[in-house]
Structure 1
């Protein structure tokens, strides 16, 4: 199963987030997905960083200052 893109995650409706996390956890891809999003947060490309930030926020991991 390919990892969902950050854009796919951003497009999730609020009512589907919990099931998405459950599905990713069950398929043992949640930690890989989180690692991928965290790596994208350090990208030199600003749009890539922003999309990763939005995806993490959608999953319930807001940015901490």
Structure 2
């Protein structure tokens, strides 16, 4: 990992906040979808984990 790049990323709050906003919208949308569709909760956990790993990859990749 390029630690200096990570440091600069976290020093840029606008970019950081935009990605967290997207992340929370996705999680909230997923929870709402599961509530109304009766989807298996383990499937939702899988979607959230893959989304988290994707977000980390975008942030630090």
Q: Point out the structure with the larger helix share.
A: 2
Whether TM-score is above 0.5 comes out as: no
Greater Rg over alpha carbons, structure: 2
Give me the TM-score of the superposition, normalised by structure 2: 0.37
